[in-house]
Amino acid sequence: MRKTYGSPPPGFSSEHLRGHLIVLEGADGSGRTTEVALLRDWLEIRGHPVVDTGLRRSTLVGPEIDRAKQGHTLSATTMALFYAADFADQLENKILPSLAAGSTVLADRYVFTLMARAVVRGATRDWASKLYGFAIVPDLTVFLDARPEILLHRAIGRYGSLDYWESGMDLSLSRDRFESFFRYQERLHAEFEWMTEHYGFQVVNADRDPTSVHKDVVHSVAPLYEDGHDADVESTPPRPRASRARPAGPASSPTPAAPPTAPPDAARRSARRPPDAA
Amino acid sequence: MKGAPTPPPHGQAGRLIVFEGLDGSGKSTQARLLVKWLQSQGYRVFFTEWNSSDMVSEVIRRGKKKNLLTPTTFSLLHAVDFADRFERQIAPPLRAGYIVVCDRYAYTAFVRDASRGCDPDWVRSLYSFAPVPDKVLYFRVPVSTSLHRKILSRQKISYYEAGMDLGLSDDLNESYEKFQTRLKREYDRLAPIDRFVTIGADRPVEEVLRQVRHEIRPLLIGFPKLEALVRA
């Protein structure tokens, strides 16, 4: 039975939502997008159709949000409500229909990022969680936990600079973007740590290479598809190894990927102090 | 209301007076009359209406065309709009010591969204940034009066005003009537909870006006007029 955190949106009916909702959370530069792609391949090769979704702007309010961000004129409360409208649109027009169709919905970030952003900008946790009370509870949320230094290097490596919003420049933490980036990421991280406890995230150490991270992600995901959880797949076929290079087509070697027996080394790590950005 | 904490009084220098009620209840006319009276008495007054901004109108137009709007997104978009208007238009004069008169306030959203099936506690939590007014005047009229005045005024009834999105009826007027009935029920439910002053608005304008002034007078005791401020 699928549940929402608070009261469900009007017209919500849980009984037909057969698919799984899997969420990958993590800061920009945590390798989230890469891991979503790897996991998508892994699932589809095993016969589970995937619909991916993220916090990309919906068709409904996307243009207005972009305009509001350009102008920097809306307050934190207004922006938080705006993002919630955008998310509600994605939930009702994309996520729920996909789950009803039996697809696995793979979310490249979810309400947790939106809640964390709102809270570091002054909203209370209580307000933020009530605001997103209509969100459905995922089957699994994996938090890709990467150190701020790692995020910094990946951001600079990719864009050659630090993004205004990812550095939290709107918070006026520091006029220095480098400094602001660290302080902002530190605050977000603290929020994610709290949510990890509160919402039961699976934490994966994302300081490592994509393949190692993928292994840990799969370790968390695999149990969802065991014991005939998914009626669309005939028994358990031999599991081919995920092939990253060519996602389409059957993998050549049908070597069964044995489910890992021990928890991956660095998964489920607890709190970690981000270093001072002095 | 269970689970919905009452926000504290606004604690600002000004006063916050809210007019609520169905379309055609005469509240807008009375709000304007009150503003004029207060100004003539030498008070600093700020008047604001519940108008959708260009932004929300645009989103609603697009959403309607593509059939994307749901009660949840509809509710959230109006909250965006109100939050923005509150921070720009209502909060600053309230802090500056004005008498702020609002033709509709968060209660309009409570009533409309609940009538669309949203959870009332959820809607209330969205608006927890909005302080409790000093006085809420609820202009109570029968639904037939609302519809009659609406038709007489020759204003076009909009799709959402009529609650056409709820599929109550294919006929615009009939849907309007059904939807307004829901709104009225919800206003009546909130009246004791939110301490509305209920004004029987199905009476002559002068009579209603006298009652409005009577209700507002206690708020003005000891409240500084512009003149006094300038001299100080």
pLDDT in tens, A64-89: 887 777 776 678 888 999 999 999 99
Specify the pLDDT at position A63: 78
Best of A13, A57, A58, A61 to disrupt the B interface (most B CBs within 10 Å) is A61
Report the residue of A65, A130, A132, A136 to disrupt the B interface, i.e. the one with the largest count of B CBs within 10 Å. A130
Is the predicted pLDDT of residue B35 greater than 90, yes or no? yes
Among the partner residues A60, A67, A127, nearest to B63 by beta-carbon distance: A60
Q: Å from B82 to nearest chain A CA?
A: 8
* Nearest-CA distance A71 → chain B (Å): 13
First-to-last C-alpha distance (Å) of chain B: 44
How many whole angstroms separate alpha carbon A19 and alpha carbon A101? 7
pLDDT at B119: 97
pLDDT at A69: 76
- Percentage of the residues of chain A whose pLDDT score is greater than 90: 54
Cβ(A28)–Cβ(A160) under 8 Å?
A: no
Interface of A with B (CB under 8 A): 6-7, 9-11, 59-61, 64, 67-68, 74-75, 77-78, 81-82, 84-85, 88-89, 92-93, 127, 130-131, 133-134
Q: Extract the tokens encoding B116.
A: 């669309």
d(CA B194, CA A133): 24
Q: Please tell me if residue B71 touches chain A, with a CB cutoff of 8 Å.
A: yes
Q: Which residues of B touch A68 (CB under 8 A)?
A: 55
Chain A residue with CA closest to B75: the answer is A85
What dihedral angle (degrees, nearest 10) is formed by the CA atoms of A130, B167, B53, A110?
Answer: 30
Check B71 against A9: CB less than 8 A apart: yes
Rounded Cα distance between B23 and B161, Å, is: 9
Q: Helix (H, G, I), strand (E, B), or coil: what is residue A154?
A: helix
Contacts of A190 (CB under 8 A, 6+ apart): none
Instruction: Parse chain A into domains and list their residue ranges.
Output: 20-272
The answer regarding whether domain A20-272 maps to CATH 3.40.50.300 reads yes
Interval B15-23 mean pLDDT: 96
Q: Say whether residue B147 is in contact with chain A using an 8 A CB cutoff.
A: no
pLDDT for res A117 = 94
Contact assignment for B125 to A127 by CB distance below 8 Å: yes
- From chain A, pick out residues whose CB is under 8 angstroms from the CB of B64: none
Rounded CA-CA distance A197/B35 in Å is 53
Phi-psi region of B42 (alpha: psi -120 to 50; beta: other; left: phi over 0): left
Q: Whole-angstrom Cα distance, residue B44 to residue B213?
A: 16
Q: Do A93 and B68 touch (CB under 8 A)?
A: yes
For residues A52 and A106, the answer to whether their CB atoms sit within 8 Å is: yes
How far is residue B29 from each of residues A57, B24, B32, B191, measured CA to CA in Å? 41, 10, 5, 21
pLDDT less than 50: residues of chain A = 229-278
Alpha helices in A72-209, H assignment, sequence order: 76-90, 96-100, 111-120, 125-131, 148-159, 177-199
How close does chain B come to A131, measured CA to CA in Å? 6
CB nearest to B66's CB, from A59, A61, A68? A59
From the number of C-beta atoms within 10 Å of its C-beta (0-12, 13-18, 19+), residue B209 rates as middle
Residue entry with tokens 């660095």: A266
CB contact set of A56 (below 8 Å; sequence gap of 6+): A62
Q: Which of B175, B185, B198 is nearest to B114 (CA)?
A: B185
**B157 pLDDT higher than 50:** yes
Residues in chain A: 278
d(CA A64, CA A82): 9
ipTM over 0.90: no
Question: Which residue in chain A has the smallest CA separation from B119?
Answer: A7
pLDDT at position A269, please?
42
**Exposure letters B31-64 (e unless 16+ CB within 10 A, then b):** bebbbeebeeeebbbbbbebebeebbeebbebbe
Q: How far apart are CA A58 and CA A230, in angstroms?
A: 29
Q: Do B122 and A134 touch (CB under 8 A)?
A: yes
Cβ distance A81 to B122 less than 8 Å, yes or no, reads no
Name the token pair of B130: 């909005």
What is the residue-averaged pLDDT of chain B?
89
Nearest alpha carbon to residue A157 among A9, A52, A29? A29
pLDDT in tens, B179-219: 999 999 999 999 999 999 999 999 999 999 999 999 999 99
What integer is the mean pLDDT of B78-86?
Answer: 92
CB neighbour list of residue A265: distance below 8 Å, 6 or more residues apart: none
Q: Which residue, among B60, B66, B84, would best test binding to A if mutated, counting the most A CBs under 10 Å from its CB?
A: B84
**Residue A253, Cβ density class (10 Å: 0-12 exposed, 13-18 middle, ≥19 buried):** exposed
- Pairwise CB contact (< 8 Å): A64 & B59: yes
Contacts of B92 in chain A (CB under 8 A): none
Report whether B140 contacts B201 (CB < 8 A): yes
Pick from A53, A59, A27: nearest CA to A207: A27
Chain A CB within 8 Å of residue B128 CB: yes
Q: How far is the alpha carbon of A4 from chain B, nearest alpha carbon, in Å?
A: 13
B32-37 average pLDDT score: 97
Query: What is the predicted pLDDT for the residue at A271?
Result: 39
